[in-house]
Amino acid sequence: MTLSNRQIADIFDTVADILQLKGEIIHRVLSYRRAAESIRELPRDLSAIAAEDKLTEIPGIGDTLGDKIKEMLTTGKLGLYERLITEIPVGVVEIMRINGVGPKKAQLFWKELNITTVQGLEQAARAGKLRDLSGMGVKSEQKVIEGIEALSRRQVERVPLGTALPAAESILGVLRALPQCLQATVAGSVRRARPTIGDIDLLVAVREMSDSPAIMQIFVTLPNVARILGQGDTKSSVELLNGLQVDLRVLPQERWGTALQYFTGSQAHNIKTREIALAKGFSLNEHALSPVDSNGTILEDAPKLLCETEEQVYHHLGLQWIPPELREDSGEIERARDQTLPRLITLDDIHADLHMHTTWSDGKHTIREMAEAARERGRKFIVITDHSRSLGVANGLSIERLLEQQNEVRRVDQALNGSIRVFHGTEMDINADGSLDYPDEILVQLDFVIASLHMSLRQERDQITLRLLNAIRNPHVDLIGHPRAQMLPNREPVDADMDVVFTAAQQTGIALEINANPARLDLEAQYARRALDLGILLAINTDAHTIEQMDLMNYGVMTARRGWVTPDHVLNTWSLERFTTWMTQRGQ
C-alpha cells in the first residue's frame, strides 16, 4: 500500500525531531520540518506528483528529499527513519515535544535517569529527582510538571481561526483605547488567516518604550486571562480562559514595519526575505535592516534602516508589498520581485451569497428575514438552499415541501421588488450509495443546485470519489458544497482523489465552494489555488443558518486570498446578469 501524504509528512516530522535530539545542525532539522509542513498543505497526492516527476517543484523539496519521498512511495518505508528510531526511543521524542523541555533536556533525562516515557518523566519530576541534574533546579523541575499538565489539559493543539480572530479583535479593542497605544494589530498565523491557530501574536506601537509597562499591565489583567505566562516590557504572554495563548509585543512606532513583517511570518517566508536582505548587504530582523560586511557581520557603526511601514521593508528588498495571506513561501516572493502579484479578492467584491438555510429545514430565520438581512449587508442576490429529503436530522425537504417552498421564494422575491433578488435552490445530499437525493425532473425546476456530502464520510476513497463524480457529472448540479467535508479543528476531510475530482470539474464546468463558515473553510486555500490553476470556478458562501452567520463571509474571503483567488473566478462577485446567464446555460 502506498503511503499517504500525511504518513510521509509524519515520518519527516519524526526524522526532524530525532535529528534535533541528536544535535544535528539546525538547517538539516528545519529542512525536514519544512518538507513535512509543505506536504501537509499539498492539494494533490505525492504519488500523482511523483508520477509526473515533479516532486522537486514542491516548496521545500529538493533532490535529496525528493528521493526520500520516492523511496517511501515505492518501498513503503524510509531507511533513514528506520535507522533513527533504533537509536532513540519514541518516548524520548514525545518528551522533547513537551512545552519547556526541548531536545537538550530530553537527552539529559534519558542519558542520566534512563527516562524514556512521559509518564516516567512525570513520576521522576514529582519525586524530586530532576532538580539535581546539571542545569536543572527546583524551578525547572516544576516547569516540567507544568508542561506535562498542559499536555493533558490541551485537548486540541490548534484552535479555529474563527475562535482566535474575535478573541484577538476584542483584546485589540481594549489596547487601542489606551492613550499610550499609537496602533495595534494582530500578526502571526491569524494575520495570515491560517484556518487553525497555534497562538495569537499581537503588536502595539508606542512613542516611547517607557509607555510599555502600563500597556502590559492592562493586558495581563484582562478579565478573560486565566494565567500570566510571562510579563516584561517588550513581551508578555498570557493564557486565556479558553486555553488560547496570546503573546503581546510592544515596540517603538519607528520600528513598526520591520516588527510587523517579522512577526507576521511565516517562518519560511521570513527565511527567504532575510536571504534577500543579506544579498543586498543587510541583516533583517524585527528591529531594523542593519548593514553587514561581506561575512554577514553587522557593521555597528553604519546607520541602520528603520522602517515604519511594511511597504518600506519590502521596498528595500526590491519587492512589491505582499498580502499577509500569501506569505508562505509558495511563490509569492518571486512574483513580488517581478511586480506581478495578483489582485486578490476582497470582501467588497462579494455581491451575493449562494448557500443559506431557513426555517424550512434547520435554519433559524424565514426566507423573508434572510433576504432582508442579506440586503442590509449589501448583497444583490441570494439563493435559498435548504437541505434535501434524506437529511432527516436537518428537517430536509420532501419533494412536495420543496415545490411549496419555491412558491414562497417567488413571493418574497416579488415583494422585495428588485432591491435584492432571491433565487430558489437546494443543498442536496449526495447519498451514501452515490445517488443524488432528488430526481433530475425536480432539479431542473430549481434555479441553482448545490450538492454536498453530509453522511457516510468515512467511506473508502473509491466510493467517496465516485459520489463526488456523480454529482459533478449531473448537468443540473451547479456547485459542490464544502467539497472535502472537513470540520475544524479536528474532523478530517473525506479521502477523495482530488486529482480525479478536479479533472471532472474542469470538464463539466461545475463550480466548487469555499464554505466561509470558520468550522469548515472548505475548500481550503491550497485546493482553491489548484482549482483556479485548472480554470475551475469557485463560489464563496456563508452557508448561514442564522442572520448573524451571514457576517462570516470574511473568513471565506480570507481563505480565498490564501489560495491566490482573484475576483473574476468567483461566481458571487459577478453581476446579476452574468450570474443568471451562467445559471440558465448550465443544465441545458
Question: Could you list the residues that contact Ca ion (CB under 5 A)?
Answer: 188-189, 199, 201, 247
Residue range at the interface with Zn ion (CB under 5 A); choices 32-40, 128-136, 425-433, 577-585: 425-433
Q: Report, in Å, the least distance between residue 188 CB and Ca ion.
A: 3
147 three-class SS: helix
Q: Report, in Å, the least distance between residue 497 CB and Zn ion.
A: 24
| Sign of the dihedral through C-alpha 282, 283, 289, 293 | negative
* Smaller CB separation from Zn ion, 13 or 543: 543
Residue range at the interface with Zn ion (CB under 5 A); choices 146-154, 251-259, 316-324, 423-431: 423-431
* Smaller CB separation from Ca ion, 247 or 413: 247
* Smaller CB separation from ligand DGT, 196 or 390: 196
Rounded CA gap, 272 and 384, in Å? 46
265 binds, among ligand DGT, Ca ion, Zn ion, none (CB under 5 to 8 A by kind): ligand DGT
* Smaller CB separation from Ca ion, 122 or 201: 201
270 binds, among Zn ion, ligand DGT, Ca ion, none (CB under 5 to 8 A by kind): ligand DGT
Rounded CA gap, 44 and 50, in Å? 10
Identify any residues that bridge with 317 across adjacent strands, giving them in sequence order. none
543 binds, among ligand DGT, Ca ion, Zn ion, none (CB under 5 to 8 A by kind): Zn ion
| Sign of the dihedral through C-alpha 518, 523, 527, 532 | negative
* Smaller CB separation from Ca ion, 199 or 499: 199
Q: Report, in Å, the least distance between residue 247 CB and Ca ion.
A: 4
* Residue of 309, 466, 446, 330 whose CA lies nearest to 388: 446
Residue range at the interface with Zn ion (CB under 5 A); choices 125-133, 471-479, 535-543, 551-559: 535-543
* Smaller CB separation from ligand DGT, 266 or 290: 266
Q: Report, in Å, the least distance between residue 263 CB and Ca ion.
A: 8
Residue tagged 467588497 (cell numbers): 348
Q: Report, in Å, the least distance between residue 386 CB and Zn ion.
A: 8
- Cis, bond preceding 266 (omega within 30 deg of 0): yes
* Smaller CB separation from ligand DGT, 160 or 396: 160
Q: Report, in Å, the least distance between residue 169 CB and ligand DGT.
A: 16
Q: Report, in Å, the least distance between residue 356 CB and Zn ion.
A: 8
* Closest residue to ligand DGT: CB criterion: 265
Letters for 374-413 (x = contact with Zn ion by CB under 5 A, - = none) are ----------------------------------------
Burial of 580 (C-beta count, 10 Å sphere; 0-12/13-18/19+): middle
Residue range at the interface with Zn ion (CB under 5 A); choices 154-162, 439-447, 460-468, 539-547: 539-547
Contacts of 50 (CB under 8 A, 6+ apart): 69, 70, 73
* Closest residue to Ca ion: CB criterion: 188
* Smaller CB separation from Ca ion, 249 or 380: 249
Rounded CA gap, 290 and 306, in Å? 9
Grid cell, residue 460, equals 473508502
| DSSP per-residue letters across 205-268 | EESSGGGHHHHHHHHHT-TTEEEEEEE-SSEEEEEETTS-EEEEEEEEGGGHHHHHHHHH--HH
543 binds Zn ion (CB under 5 A): yes
Rounded CA gap, 259 and 249, in Å? 9
Q: Report, in Å, the least distance between residue 195 CB and ligand DGT.
A: 10
* Smaller CB separation from ligand DGT, 37 or 522: 37
Q: Are 261 and 269 in contact (CB under 8 A)?
A: no
**Given the rule CB under 6 A, which residues bind ligand DGT?**
188-189, 194, 197-199, 201, 262-263, 265-267, 270
Rounded CA gap, 132 and 100, in Å? 17
Rounded CA gap, 46 and 2, in Å? 10
Radius of gyration of the chain (CA): 26
Q: Report, in Å, the least distance between residue 238 CB and Ca ion.
A: 12
* Smaller CB separation from Zn ion, 302 or 455: 455
Contacts of 429 (CB under 8 A, 6+ apart): 387, 388, 390, 391, 396, 436, 437, 451, 452, 453, 454, 455
427 binds, among Zn ion, ligand DGT, Ca ion, none (CB under 5 to 8 A by kind): Zn ion
By CB under 5 A, the count of residues binding Zn ion is 2
427 binds Zn ion (CB under 5 A): yes
Q: Report, in Å, the least distance between residue 55 CB and ligand DGT.
A: 26
Q: Report, in Å, the least distance between residue 299 CB and Ca ion.
A: 31
Rounded CA gap, 54 and 66, in Å? 9
* Smaller CB separation from Ca ion, 72 or 190: 190
Residue range at the interface with Zn ion (CB under 5 A); choices 131-139, 250-258, 342-350, 424-432: 424-432
* Closest residue to Zn ion: CB criterion: 543
DSSP state of 506: H
Q: Report, in Å, the least distance between residue 266 CB and ligand DGT.
A: 5
**Amino acid of residue 390:** S
Half-sphere exposure for 542 (CA within 13 Å, toward CB): 28
* Smaller CB separation from Ca ion, 9 or 190: 190
| DSSP per-residue letters across 522-543 | BS-HHHHHHHHHTT--EEEE--
Q: Under the rule (CB under 5 A), what is the footprint of Zn ion?
A: 427, 543
